[in-house]
């Protein structure tokens, strides 16, 4: 894979804004606040800000921009106003999107030095982190296989500008927050780059090689289990899915250990790594099948999060487990009706070979427990049904107990990865009954995302566990001003922030 870092760290400078040298200086304007924006920036723009509001050329709605040349005494070449939406709903998610919108505009027009003025609406550290994330997310580039080198976008030199009156302490805090935001977003972009790679490039073997390389670079311990070791551990569900492919399976295990642990708890992150999902013998229709190259987005999110965790150095240990297979309909493939046995010992009747994610995750959740995880989160492009329930903007959230699930949900929403809970009532378990084995791997059309989660729950050993179904949030089918078409990097920031929030994890069982 030809992945290379396409972004530069985000610098921090302090005001006055008029003195900042840049190709473009960016300010956030809120809807209905023409007077405030004009008072602040008409001086920079020779009166054209109030004009743009008056003519409604610029409305300050989210995703909108207005660009005008700067006049003396301002030093930047141009002023870009970006819409923040209504001030009442302005939060870090709006700020992050505004920063990405502005930076994508700058990248498009090849303005390299972009200076982003913090709007001073939210707590300063939160603003610096969200702005830094937004600016860095704009570096994601999907055209690496295009031959025309001139079409490559510019590499931005982003900086954030703290308010003029900020104290030295506030500036230090802004620098730490900006560095943190850069790490989180650059690791989100790594996950996006992986998810965008075709399945002839990313196979279980090459994914595991990238993971081992990345671990060596970032000081994580890595263990790559090959087919022989997976067989030694009796991972019959994972091996069953792998049977139909010429590409042999792997399981990547990454471990972060703090120098001075603040807790005995160990976070276990498990990510679905199906490098291509044809459906197997229960084969999928060919329309849109190519997008199943991204069926390893959960695994990519865990890898990105582990890289971020290695850099952020939280006080809790974290293990990342990524089961890797290609789901193909080969001559040795599993058949509908086959019965396979999990490493934990439970038997499963495979009524649909396209419900493969839950099979590999079951053995991976078991393995995460074997190596010491005390709190589990899995991330998976698991069910098409989640999009019917929640659409393209919201990740499905499941699990138990409630305090763990709600912590994961709050962390996700703060990180800009919106997630919303669905229930796991015991009744749903009946849909997974098999006539001949402990469990069937599908539960019918009704509540399809819930029965998939109920299946996973069987393999969590009663530990605190949360499941994020990202089937419709890992890939943007339509471009937005702040989000190009393609992989989104969903869940990377959530998982890394969760690792850092260990003071809020529910206590270990005695
Ligand atoms: N990888 C798919 C889920 C998916 C669907 C991801 C659409 C992204 C976009 C998963 O392995 C799958 O095929 N699920 C089946 C389950 C069914 C057979 C119970 C599905 O959703 O149809
Ligand atoms: Mn499938
Ligand atoms: Zn799948």
Mean pLDDT of residues grouped by 10 in the chain (510 residues)?
72 94 98 96 96 97 98 97 97 98 96 97 96 98 88 92 86 95 98 98 98 97 98 98 98 98 98 99 97 98 98 98 99 98 98 98 99 98 98 98 98 98 98 98 98 98 98 97 97 99 93
Q: Return the ligand 1 atom nearest residue 277 CA.
A: 1
Using alpha carbons, select from 473, 474, 428, 471 the residue that is nearest to residue 451. Answer: 428
Closest residue to atom 16 of ligand 1, CA basis:
355
CA–centroid distance, 364 to ligand 1, in Å, is 18
Question: What is the rounded CA–CA span in Å between residue 292 and residue 104?
Answer: 27
Closest residue to atom 3 of ligand 1, CA basis:
383
Query: What would the two tokens of residue 119 be?
Result: 């709007």
Query: What would the two tokens of residue 328 be?
Result: 């193909």
Neighbour count for residue 476 (Cβ, 10 Å): 17
Q: Return the ligand 1 atom nearest residue 443 CA.
A: 19
466 and 405 Cβ atoms separated by less than 8 Å: yes
CA–centroid distance, 258 to ligand 1, in Å, is 37
Report phi then psi at 500, rounded to 5. -80, -15
- Per-residue pLDDT at 461: 98
Question: What is the rounded CA–CA span in Å between residue 122 and residue 126?
Answer: 7
CA distance to 48, 63, 381, 492, per residue, from 58 (Å): 11, 11, 38, 34
138: Cβ contacts below 8 Å, ≥ 6 apart: 99, 100, 103, 104, 106, 107, 156
Q: Which residue blocks in 157-296 are alpha helix, DSSP H?
A: 168-196, 204-218, 227-232, 236-242
Any ligand 1 atom below 6 A from CB of 323 = no
In which residue are the tokens 């996700």 written? 412
- Per-residue pLDDT at 92: 98
Q: Return the ligand 1 atom nearest residue 474 CA.
A: 8
Question: What is the rounded CA–CA span in Å between residue 182 and residue 180?
Answer: 5
Helix axes 168-196, 297-312, angle to 10 degrees: 150
CA–centroid distance, 42 to ligand 3, in Å, is 53
238, 359, 382, best to mutate for ligand 1 pocket (most atoms within 8 Å of CB)? 382
Any ligand 1 atom below 6 A from CB of 450 = no
- Per-residue pLDDT at 168: 86
Any ligand 1 atom below 6 A from CB of 383 = yes
Choice among 358, 369, 457, 493 that is catalytic: 358
CA–centroid distance, 279 to ligand 2, in Å, is 5
Query: What would the two tokens of residue 170 be?
Result: 């506030």
Q: Return the ligand 1 atom nearest residue 385 CA.
A: 21
200: Cβ contacts below 8 Å, ≥ 6 apart: none
Report the run of H or E that residue 160 belongs to, with start and end.
Answer: strand 157-162
**Which ligand is located closest to the Cα atom of residue 452?**
1
Closest residue to atom 7 of ligand 1, CA basis:
384
Q: Which residue blocks in 77-167 are alpha helix, DSSP H?
A: 92-108, 124-137
Closest residue to atom 8 of ligand 1, CA basis:
471
Closest residue to atom 22 of ligand 1, CA basis:
384
Any ligand 1 atom below 6 A from CB of 357 = yes
Choice among 87, 171, 176, 284 that is catalytic: 284
Question: What is the rounded CA–CA span in Å between residue 304 and residue 188?
Answer: 6
Question: What is the rounded CA–CA span in Å between residue 226 and residue 244?
Answer: 17
CA–centroid distance, 338 to ligand 3, in Å, is 18
Question: What is the rounded CA–CA span in Å between residue 127 and residue 13?
Answer: 14
CA–centroid distance, 389 to ligand 1, in Å, is 14
Closest residue to atom 17 of ligand 1, CA basis:
355
Query: Is 61 among the catalytic positions?
Result: no
Three-state secondary structure call for residue 474? coil
Q: Return the ligand 1 atom nearest residue 441 CA.
A: 19
Query: What would the two tokens of residue 244 be?
Result: 């139909």
CA–centroid distance, 200 to ligand 2, in Å, is 18
Q: Look up residue 285 and give its DSSP letter.
A: P
Q: Return the ligand 1 atom nearest residue 284 CA.
A: 13
- In this structure, the strands spanning 375-380 and 465-469 are parallel
Query: Is 392 among the catalytic positions?
Result: no
Any ligand 1 atom below 6 A from CB of 389 = no
CA–centroid distance, 304 to ligand 2, in Å, is 23
- Per-residue pLDDT at 326: 99
Three-state secondary structure call for residue 158? strand
222 and 212 Cβ atoms separated by less than 8 Å: yes
Any ligand 1 atom below 6 A from CB of 387 = no
């Amino acid at each position: 894979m030809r992945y290379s870092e396409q972004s530069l760290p985000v610098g921090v400078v302090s005001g006055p804004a008029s003195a900042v040298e840049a190709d473009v200086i960016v300010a956030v304007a809120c809807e209905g606040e023409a007077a405030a924006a004009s008072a602040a920036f008409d001086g920079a723009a020779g009166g054209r800000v109030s004009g743009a509001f008056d003519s409604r050329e610029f409305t300050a709605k989210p995703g909108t921009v207005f660009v005008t040349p700067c006049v003396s005494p301002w030093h930047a070449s141009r002023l870009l106003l970006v819409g923040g939406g209504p001030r009442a709903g302005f939060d870090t998610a709006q700020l992050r999107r505004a920063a990405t919108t502005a930076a994508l505009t700058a990248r498009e027009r090849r303005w390299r030095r972009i200076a982003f003025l913090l709007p001073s609406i939210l707590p300063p550290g939160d603003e610096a982190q969200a702005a830094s994330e937004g600016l860095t997310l704009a570096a994601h580039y999907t055209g690496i296989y295009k031959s025309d080198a001139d079409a490559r976008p510019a590499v931005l030199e982003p900086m954030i500008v703290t308010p003029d009156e900020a104290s030295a302490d506030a500036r230090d805090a802004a620098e730490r927050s900006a560095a943190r935001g850069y790490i989180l977003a650059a690791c989100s972009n790594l996950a996006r780059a992986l998810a965008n790679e075709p399945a002839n490039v990313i196979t279980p073997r090459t994914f595991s090689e990238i993971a081992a390389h990345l671990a060596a670079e970032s000081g994580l311990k890595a263990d790559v289990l090959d087919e022989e070791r997976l067989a030694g551990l009796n991972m019959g569900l994972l091996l069953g899915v792998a049977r139909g492919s010429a590409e042999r399976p792997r399981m990547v295990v990454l471990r972060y250990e703090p120098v001075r642990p603040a807790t005995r708890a160990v976070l276990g992150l498990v990510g679905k790594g199906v490098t291509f999902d044809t459906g197997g013998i229960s084969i999928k229709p060919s329309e849109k099948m190519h997008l199943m190259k991204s069926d390893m987005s959960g695994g990519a999110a865990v890898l990105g999060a582990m890289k971020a965790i290695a850099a952020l150095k939280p006080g809790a240990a974290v293990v990342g487990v990524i089961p890797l297979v290609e789901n193909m309909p080969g001559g040795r493939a599993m058949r509908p009706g086959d019965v396979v046995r999990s490493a934990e010992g439970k038997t499963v009747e495979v009524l649909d070979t396209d419900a493969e994610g839950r099979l590999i995750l079951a053995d991976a959740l078991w393995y995460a427990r074997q190596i010491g995880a005390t709190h589990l989160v899995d991330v998976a492009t698991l069910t098409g049904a989640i999009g019917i329930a929640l659409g393209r903007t919201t990740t499905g959230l499941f699990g138990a107990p409630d305090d763990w699930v709600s912590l994961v949900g709050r962390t996700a929403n703060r990180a800009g990865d919106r997630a919303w809970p669905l229930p796991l009532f015991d009744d749903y378990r009946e849909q997974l009954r098999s006539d001949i084995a402990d469990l069937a791997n599908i539960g019918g059309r009704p509540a399809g995302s819930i029965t998939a989660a109920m299946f996973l729950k069987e393999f969590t050993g009663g530990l605190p566990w949360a499941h994020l179904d990202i089937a419709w949030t890992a890939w943007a089918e339509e471009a937005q001003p702040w989000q190009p078409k393609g992989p989104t990097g969903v869940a990377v920031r959530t998982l890394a922030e969760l690792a850092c929030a260990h003071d809020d994890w529910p206590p270990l069982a005695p």
